[in-house]
Structure 1
């Protein structure tokens, strides 16, 4: 089979449930040989992750994650606002969560968090030459601490209970690939 024979075609899309952060849709799609299936897809805005590199450390954030019911140590990041470019969102999220701005922001890549279930993408940026204002500008429902963490500790502990966010591991892989 060649790749063109793997492609399904969406025939209909129905909104099942809308929340402030994502919409659940039911999609009826047709396989290459004419079979139909119903699939659930979560639609959400794209996100950014920023990897603040200070030399020996990454500037990390610690915040509560409701799904995990635990604190998580992560790279700064968040939702891209409607009409906002990923680069601008990366600058904004870095400043909001850490009070830092980057003299240099490098795009490392984009990926889908889970292409079986999600329609959005996360865009990863490397932030270097950081300057600190010392003032966070958090959203109303955001409670975030920031701190430098040795790069070796972050890379060693990804996948542990403290570093449980899978997208952080994906972002770290893009970072390591850029540094090879």
Structure 2
């Protein structure tokens, strides 16, 4: 059985956000309404320096107050997730990476169209941040990999993307190290 859409009403539209009410038939054959939030994809970057420290940004947000997270943001129209990641890393952290490794992507929520694309960035060059008005005061911090992983597990990183990105990057680095040792 599959879901079948019979109609859609857009009930709200704003920049980078639309909310739809879909009329559907569920896999069990029952008719139902499903509310869908349509948003652009995002890119989240885990920058790792030559000493295996992870670059994190600290800022104060309107909704969550002070947060520590990985650099990242929306994929703008006409951008690929990688291009968005490169732009966000440069803007928020002042970093340029020579090497980019895609780590995967995930859906943000069940009824949300946005996907979050994760990248490991290495071969870093430090430059100047290019912060937007809402990012004023954002600072770059370097965390030991073990401390960042611990923070992902113990809840000190309140934004789920940061935790998942750090865990994905750490697993990738561990496997790369194991592959190097076995060669």
Q: What TM-score does the superposition give when structure 1 sets the normalisation length?
A: 0.88
| Aligned CA-pair RMSD | 1.6
Q: Distance in 2 between matches of 1:138 and 1:160?
A: 29
Residue 158 of structure 1 and its aligned partner are, at CA, apart by 1.7
Q: 1:20 and 1:64, CA in 2 relative to 1: closer, same or farther beyond 3 A?
A: farther
Aligned residue pairs total: 172
Question: Displacement of 1:33 after TM fit?
Answer: 4.3
Q: Whole-Å Cα distance in 2 between the matches of residues 176 and 162 of structure 1?
A: 17
Q: Which ranges in structure 2 are unaligned for 5 or more consecutive residues?
A: 176-183
Deviation at 1:95, TM superposition (A): 0.3
Deviation at 1:20, TM superposition (A): 2.8
Q: Comparing both structures, which one devotes a greater share of its residues to helix?
A: 2
Structure 1 residues 15 and 159 mapped into 2: Cα distance closer, same or farther (>3 Å)? farther
Name the counterpart of 1:100: 95
Q: State the TM-score, normalizing by the size of structure 2.
A: 0.87
Match of 1:128 among 122, 134, 148: 122
Matched-pair contact (CA < 8 Å) for 1:155–1:172: yes
What is aligned with 1:20? 15
1:140 matched residue in structure 2: 133
Q: Which stretch of structure 1 is more off in the superposition, 100-109 or 55-64?
A: 55-64
Separation (CA, whole Å) in 1 of partners of 2:142 and 2:25: 49
1:41-87 CA-partner distances (Å, limit 9, x unpaired): 1110000000000133111001223332x211001000011010111
Q: Offset of 1:117 from its aligned partner?
A: 2.2
Secondary structure in 2 aligned to 1:163? coil
Q: How far, CA to CA, are the matches of 1:97 and 1:66 in structure 2? A: 17
Alpha-carbon distance in 1 for matches of 2:159, 2:5: 31
Q: Is the 8 A contact 1:110 1:121 kept in 2?
A: yes
Which residue of 1 is the match for residue 61 of structure 2? Answer: 65
